[in-house]
Structure 1
Amino acid sequence: MNSNYIEILGFIAAILTTAAFLPQVYKTWKTKDVSGLSMPMLIIFFVGIVFWLIYGFYKESPSMIFANSITTITSFMLVYFKFKYEKR
């Protein structure tokens, strides 16, 4: 298969997976309810996304760079919200 088609497929996957994550970030921001969020999961997810971003740069894959740049920011926001809004 042509590499351009593979990259288009990558962009479609990137848009869908990134968009699927955004409602959770928005809901958490609006409600400030972080009780359902697991800090270990958030940290592991964040580190994994950062590694995917590094890998995307290494592979020179625009779709991976695009998706993982946005998801790195939004997952960091959830970590921040968890720290900020957690009832202690």
Structure 2
Amino acid sequence: MNYLTVLGLSAATLTTISFLPQMVKTWQTKSAKDVSYIMLITFILGVSLWLLYGILRQDIAIVLANAITLVFNLTILWLKIKYGKTRPRKYL
């Protein structure tokens, strides 16, 4: 593995895991009211195109990062849809 691949995988890891806290917070609070549908859908489309690009270029760093990021963001979108219909319970 050359240094460019390591650099790409390092960048991919950091940008991909940046969505993990939002996904966990949304899951725990059962609220996604501050997450924008337009941002999520636009980002999901962009990540899908990056994934296709990575597949066509056969670039493992691009493929892995965008596949995982796509799963995280689809999960956030699903949580937004699921919890957007009801208000979260407030605990005392």
TM-score normalised by L of structure 2? 0.88
Q: What secondary structure, in the 3-state scheme, does the structure 1 residue paired with 2:73 have?
A: helix
Task: Supply the AA of the counterpart residue of 2:11.
Answer: A
How far has the Cα of 1:87 moved from its partner? Answer: 3.7
Counting helix residues as a fraction of each chain, which structure ranks higher? 1
Determine if the alignment matches structure 1 residue 7 to structure 2 residue 11: no
CA distance in 2, matches of 1:40, 1:86: 14
CA distance in 2, matches of 1:71, 1:61: 16
Aligned CA RMSD, in angstroms, stands at: 1.4
Question: What are the Cα deviations for residues 25-64 of structure 1, in whole angstroms up to 9, with x where unaligned?
Answer: 1110111111110001000001111110000111111011
What are the ranges of 5 or more consecutive residues in structure 1 without an aligned counterpart? none
Runs (4+) of structure 1 moved beyond 2 Å?
A: none
Would you say how many aligned residue pairs link Structure 1 and Structure 2?
86
CA distance in 2, matches of 1:19, 1:26: 11
1:25 is matched with 23
CA distance in 2, matches of 1:61, 1:4: 13
2:72 is matched with 74
CA distance in 2, matches of 1:62, 1:32: 34
Q: Aligned match of 2:49 in 48, 51, 57?
A: 51
Structure having the higher Rg: 2
What are the ranges of 5 or more consecutive residues in structure 2 without an aligned counterpart? 87-92
Determine if the alignment matches structure 1 residue 60 to structure 2 residue 45: no
